[in-house]
Structure 1
Amino acid sequence: MAAQQKKKAGAFDIRVVIAALIAIYGVVLTILGIIADPAEVDKAAGININLWGGIAMLVFAALFVLWARLRPIVVPVEQAAEQAARQDRE
């Protein structure tokens, strides 16, 4: 019996999409934290929440991408072809 070919989900992996969205928000928050008015930082007990939140979101997004790269979703090619053929028949 021949070994089944396998295909990785790649850019269509939902983890990559989620990581991209979180990274975009993280970049925006980080920029807002860098240009924050000191009076606004004082309102939050002296903690620059936008900066720290943005950095945390960027780290979280990087971990999601790392997770997607280290443990990719693998789909057998034959199974995907059979499913597509079944859907065409229906």
Structure 2
Amino acid sequence: MADQKQKAGAFDIRVVIAALIGLYGVVLTILGIIADPQEIAKADGLNINLWGGIAMLVFAALFVLWARIRPIVVPADPAAPAERE
């Protein structure tokens, strides 16, 4: 068989990290949206949950974009030795 290769896909660690960070980002964004104004006043008027959640969602999106643009390629037959270029 010629050089058959596959993408790592969902098993790429970047996708797993993006999913976890994205989940935390969604939770923080929701908490920031429903935040009590008194809690926001304690933080000098900065809704840190909202901004932190948005930042985490952007970070997760960048990780997914990175995994899509530069996928990890693995050989189709893991028993075959990998050729070095």
Unaligned runs of 5+ in 1: 84-90
- 1:82 aligned onto 2:80: yes
Q: Distance in 2 between matches of 1:81 and 1:52?
A: 47
Shift of residue 82, structure 1, vs aligned partner: 3.1
User: TM-score normalised to the size of structure 1?
Assistant: 0.85
Q: Which runs of 5+ in 2 are unaligned?
A: none
- What residue is the counterpart of 1:12 in the other structure? 11
Q: Which SS does the other structure have where 1:7 is aligned?
A: strand
- Aligned-residue RMSD, C-alpha: 1.3
SS of corresponding position for 2:71: coil
Identity within the alignment, %: 80
Paired residues in the alignment total 81
SS in 1 for 2:80: helix
CA drift at 1:7: 0.5
* 2:52 aligned partner: 53
Q: Distance in 2 between matches of 1:16 and 1:38?
A: 35
Instruction: Give the whole-Å Cα distance in 2 for the aligned partners of 1:3 and 1:76.
Output: 11
Tell me, what secondary structure is at the counterpart of 1:55?
helix
TM-score in terms of structure 2 length:
0.89
- After TM superposition, give the deviation of residue 76 of structure 1 in Å: 1.8
- Alpha-carbon distance, 1:44 to partner: 0.7
Deviation at residue 3 of structure 1 after TM alignment: 3.8
Counterpart for residue 29 of structure 2: 30
